[in-house]
Amino acid sequence: MPSFRNITTFARFTKCAVNGSIMRPSMITPMRYATAHSSEVVQPSGTFLNKDVVTERVLNVVRRYEKVDQSKLTAESNFYNDLGLDSLDTAEVVMEVENEFQLEIPDEEAFKLTSVNDCIQYVTSNPLAK
């Protein structure tokens, strides 16, 4: 096996040397470099919103949703356990929060927001929130 491997690598190098301009898949820049770079560029010098204001606005959004029990709603309440919402309702509430702050939360982040507090945390730490 080792000898076989040596032969193949040797063959590859000679091939490379003969035709200098071989474009092999390994030479193509991986995607993640490109995305990391672009996110740095996009990063604005935005300001973070005040936590009290955000709390009030998030609570307002959640209160507007018809299935929420008003009496149980606090800044600490969990969508599933305290407010009795299911995952579809939660997705809708999170989308309402997105609309309120003019954000577009990526799916992976959105699925992690399971309580009012999570939403507040996310919005206050996001400089793009308005």
Partner 1 sequence: MLTNSKALARTIPAIRATIQPQVRFQSTSETVLGLGQRLKSIFSSEDGPKKMPELVQYRIFKYDPQVDNEPYIQSWYLEYSKNSPMLLDDLFRIKNTKDEGLAFRRSCREGICGSCAMNVNGKNALACTYKVGDHISDVKPYISVYPLPHMPIVKDLAVDMKHFYMQYKSIDPYLKEVNVLDSFIKDRINPKPGFKHDRRLSKFHFTLKPHKKENLQSKKNRALIDGLYECILCACCSTSCPSYWWNRDKYLGPAVLLQAYRWVVDSRDRALKERLDYLNDVYRLYRCHTILNCIKCCPKSLSPAEAISNIKSMISLT
Partner 2 sequence: MKPRRLSGLQMQVLSVYRIMLRAAKEKQDASISRMVRSEFRKNSSIPVTQHHRIEWMLNQSRGKLELMQSPNCTNVTFFGPDN
Closest CA to 99 of 75, 72, 65: 65
Q: Where in 13-32 is the site for partner 1 (CB under 8 A)?
A: 15, 19, 22-25, 28
8 phi, psi to nearest 5 deg: -65, -45
Is 89 among the catalytic positions? no
Residue 123: which of partner 1, partner 2, none does it interact with, CB under 5 to 8 A by kind?
Answer: none
- Closer by beta carbon to partner 2, 72 or else 112: 112
- Closer by beta carbon to partner 1, 23 or else 42: 23
| Closest distance to partner 2 from the beta carbon of 107 (Å) | 5
Burial of 72 (0-12, 13-18, 19+ CB in 10 A): exposed
Catalytic residue among 86, 89, 107, 118: 86
CA distance 27 to 24: 6
Tell me the catalytic residues. Answer: 86
